[in-house]
A and B are shown apart, each in its own frame.
Chain A
């Protein structure tokens, strides 16, 4: 209809209409009221909704019938974290969100995206243990203030194939150390078909504890510490003797993040890992296996000496500084912290746990088929039988760069492309430069 030109008025009307629709659509996304007893809360977290958050929200809404909670899952990788950051920054209505590591939370705190929770935490007797002055430190503290509370506190442990241990007639000595671990790994290995362990336990982390990448003053890296050399030389030696899955297999099969496959297919006998691995062990449909898994404690770097557990104090819950529903959001945070047992079925250990509920927690953690799949007593003993020292990192300077530098060079050493000496020299140089540049 070339001959029927649109008038300017018609075009303006159409544009006004479109703008109106856009405004109405935007209104539909708004957060809602600011009441503490009613309204809508938007929560962003990295755990799949079916692995605990749905149950948590259902229980919360039952107790607070006037508040509707919408949970949005974001994937906690580079893109997912940036998506949450830009959403917080750009004004997407988010009231409560989770951070899973110190550097990421630190950036959000520095950018003013998180509400100061210091007062609320201090005034809540149940959560005071996470306050800035609590000893031992159990939370991330920024300039004496608290911007989150950790919902999870879980030790790392060794998951072992119970059948393989029994068939090899192996008894794990109490208070075993890294040399014992290596001996056991060697005995469990079968010439390239079965490897004693998925990876060498990170004894450098067990030794160095919090801020293990940094020197004490935080102004340079720690790669000159002998703990790094000890770990790398041990990892190379174990790879050489065939008692650990070769690094090149881990890289080629992309097993760095999800390392449970080789344990559940019988390719490795032991797996140093975090509690969330239980999710996969209990999933017989996806990972069918006919052996029990036994829990073993991490081996000590030096026999008889105290060491750190590298397990996470994590799942840091924060309230957005832009949330118009600070009180309702705090009600939700407080409820989550006090009911974290609802997350155990998804493989997360609560940071607040009534000692009388330990057996129930283990039962929830291991699932309904626990007697068939697990040596239940070993899990109860390893998870609750020891007072672990959990590291709480405080330094965030160039932490992502330093981590990337280490992982890159760690791979190169274990692939035989550089020596331990070269690795440590290069890591020191690159990390120190990155730390210095970041100020």
Chain B
């Protein structure tokens, strides 16, 4: 069988433009090499800066290592770090705080983002400007955001408490300096800074929804609520799943705001798993234990992610 009649279109194109390929196998191989060449920079980056550190972290989790002592100071300790983690009350308290932080923050951000997207999807005055304004916090650095909120939530001189005093609340919360209000304050700031990003993603999904479905629903007599539950929500399910997964990952790893605003305090009120890991590694030089905590955290996030993935199956318009 001659190659001219059996080769795939792409390979044929390669062969015909190459002019020196000879048979199909050589042409395919040439195309493959070019393909590899294109992805090599990215692949090298991925291997060097993602996969290798990940594998190293897994290996370090089974050791006792303070970094300063160099590679010769690495001691294999088997599962000791994991055993310690299982019995470490401070870690599990941090896990609880992380679940609270992400458990409130993720749904609040997504619901806020969806509401905002539906509002911005309407034909309202200044819509473009509003889209930019709401997206702005997403592109501002967490340090700048933290600084602004630090001033706003200052318990003595901040405008938030000044406002609360003005309406008769004599003892307003101490916000970030309070053991009770520290974590809710951080959730509020995290929601505020991520809501615009969620709104933009939802907005793009809303604008891609098929109009005929709404027309059909309207003809069937569905009111606005019914149209939302039977058309909009199922159609948005892939977007919702994407946001739920990415937001859960990012919120459970939330670190920048906590480091800048509270350093895990007051007391341990805002010490989440990420900050706990940072403390163990970078303050106490217990990198083996920090890596073990990282692995446990990784498995937890993986389980949550797979839950979201399974949950959305069969519930969407297209799944």
In-complex Cβ contact of B282 among A2, A78, A401, A415 (8 A) = A78
In-complex Cβ contact of A408 among B14, B33, B67, B268 (8 A) = B268
Q: Which residues from A are CB-within-8-Å of B284? A: 398, 400-401, 404
Q: Which residues from B are CB-within-8-Å of A63? A: none
Is the CB–CB distance between A254 and B156 below 8 Å? no
Is the CB–CB distance between B33 and A86 below 8 Å? no
Is the CB–CB distance between B283 and A78 below 8 Å? yes
Is the CB–CB distance between A412 and B174 below 8 Å? no
Q: How far is the CB of A212 from chain B (nearest CB, A)?
A: 20
How far is A251 from B268 in the complex, measured between Cα atoms in Å? 14
Given A5-B33, A111-B68, A111-B70: A248 and B177 interface contact (C-beta under 8 Å): yes
Q: Which residues from A are CB-within-8-Å of B13? A: 2
Q: Return the CB mask of A1-42 against B: 1 if under 8 Å, else 0.
A: 011111000010000000000000000000000000000000
Given A5-B34, A111-B70: A252 and B155 interface contact (C-beta under 8 Å): yes
Q: Which residues from A are CB-within-8-Å of B176? A: 252
At the interface, yes or no: B295 with Cβ under 8 Å from chain A? no
Across the two chains, which residue of chain A brings its CB closest to B282?
A78
At the interface, yes or no: A110 with Cβ under 8 Å from chain B? yes
Q: Which residues from A are CB-within-8-Å of B16? A: 3
Is the CB–CB distance between B18 and A4 below 8 Å? yes
At the interface, yes or no: A302 with Cβ under 8 Å from chain B? no
Is the CB–CB distance between A411 and B267 below 8 Å? yes
How far is A415 from B269 in the complex, measured between Cα atoms in Å? 13
In-complex Cβ contact of B68 among A107, A398, A400 (8 A) = A107
In-complex Cβ contact of B177 among A2, A4, A112, A251 (8 A) = A251
Q: Which residues from B are CB-within-8-Å of A85? A: 67-68
Is the CB–CB distance between A417 and B266 below 8 Å? yes
Q: Which residues from A are CB-within-8-Å of B69? A: 89, 110-112
Q: Return the CB mask of A78-104 against B: 1 if under 8 Å, else 0.
A: 110010011001000000000000000
Q: Return the CB mask of A54-98 against B: 1 if under 8 Å, else 0.
A: 000000000000000000000000110010011001000000000
How far is A179 from B18 in the complex, measured between Cα atoms in Å? 92
Q: How far is the CB of A10 from chain B (nearest CB, A)?
A: 10
Is the CB–CB distance between B283 and A108 below 8 Å? no
Given A3-B17, A5-B18, A411-B265: A404 and B279 interface contact (C-beta under 8 Å): yes
Residue numbers of A with Cβ under 8 A of B are 2-6, 11, 78-79, 82, 85-86, 89, 107-108, 110-113, 248-249, 251-254, 398, 400-401, 404, 408-409, 411-412, 415, 417-418
Given contact pairs A86-B67, A110-B68, A111-B70, enumerate 14 new A-B contacts (beta carbons under 8 Å).
A2-B14, A5-B31, A5-B33, A6-B37, A89-B67, A111-B73, A112-B69, A251-B177, A252-B156, A252-B174, A252-B177, A415-B174, A415-B178, A418-B267
The 8 nearest A-B residue pairs measured at CB: A3-B18, A5-B30, A3-B17, A111-B69, A111-B68, A412-B267, A248-B177, A78-B282
Residue numbers of B with Cβ under 8 A of A are 13-14, 16-21, 30-31, 33-34, 37, 66-70, 73, 150, 153-156, 174, 176-179, 265-268, 279, 282-285
| Contacts A/B (CB < 8 Å), 14 sampled | A2-B14, A2-B17, A2-B31, A85-B67, A89-B69, A108-B68, A111-B66, A111-B69, A111-B73, A248-B177, A252-B155, A404-B283, A408-B265, A412-B266
